[in-house]
Amino acid sequence: MLRRFWIRIRPVVMMCFWITCIGAMMVLLGAAISHRQQLTFNAIRVNIDETNGVLFLSKEDIEGLLRDDQVNVSKSKPISEVNYGKLERIIENNPYVDNAELFVDANGTISIHIRQRTPILRVINNQGVGYYLDEQASKMPLSSKFTARVPVATGNIMALPENSNKTDSVTQNNLYVLADYIRGDTFLTSLIEQIVVNNQHEFELIPRIGNHTILLGSTNDLSEKFSKLKVFYKEGLNRAGWNNYSQVNLKYKNEVYCKKRSTEKQVVKVAATAVNDSTMAVDLVKP
């Protein structure tokens, strides 16, 4: 009897249970929405990712951007009135910001996570205008607050239109390719200080050590050219002397040509008998 009674009323009990649960959830949701609408933010927490070694931005810079849009702790307003998408766009419009994400917690704290752009080359064009190229090949302005420790490119580099962002010239595209290759190699990163574009639109490198230049030519076959250079530094210059040559020429396949430092501009040919990163033999051939 009892079992039949339970079977009969069970659907009603279950319906009442679910109605009660849904009602409670609606009440809680309404309370949360009401609380959030009345909540004002009380703090701004800015986290700037500095793992790439650049320090273009500070917490004060970001707070200044938000203050310009009336997001100010001293003049706080309800959280519900803050346009988070707009704030993210404002921050990302800063020329040093790669990405910005904004969150608000239950205590009214706005947390902002920012990733800065990473410059890989500083360019000074033939008009004397300086800027950076970042890892996406886009232009970045120089900063009075921070100077990135990257190679500097000078010489015959044509000025681009003022509103140009991408490296839309052949020379600057090649500069990007070269700078990107250099930064991917620990030895070259520590070695190369400057890139010069000469009047023949060839690339010359100025190292931090030694009193010579490195004539690279084009950006073709970079792996082979720099492999020759590494072996030449290890075998050739250690035997012949670091200050005896004014130029190391990597333009020609399987060979390194050196211009001797003398009034006669004597040329010494360094013949490489094999192009292998670890076993390349280097012989000095006297003129």
Q: In what order do the strands lie in the sheet with 282-285?
A: 139-141, 130-134, 119-124, 152-155, 192-197, 203-207, 213-217, 245-249, 255-260, 267-272, 282-285
pLDDT at 119: 96
Q: Global pTM? A: 0.75
What domains does the chain contain, in order, with CATH numbers? 43-116 (3.10.20.310), 119-205 (no CATH), 210-287 (no CATH)
pLDDT at 165: 58
Q: Is 144 helix (H, G, I), strand (E, B) or coil?
A: coil
Q: How far apart are CA 146 and CA 152, in angstroms?
A: 15
Q: Which two tokens stand for residue 29?
A: 């949701």
167-183 core/surface letters (b: 16 or more CB in 10 A; e: else): beeebbebbbebbeebb
The pLDDT tens digits along the chain (287 residues) read 556 655 666 666 567 666 776 766 765 555 455 555 556 667 788 899 998 889 999 988 888 877 766 555 445 567 667 777 888 888 999 999 999 988 877 777 788 999 999 999 999 998 899 999 999 999 999 999 999 999 999 999 987 766 565 555 888 999 999 999 999 999 999 999 999 999 999 999 999 987 889 999 999 999 999 998 988 888 766 666 667 778 889 998 888 888 877 644 444 455 444 344 333 334 444 43
* CA 120 to each of CA 48, 130, 181, 205: distance values in angstroms, whole numbers, following the listed order: 19, 14, 10, 15
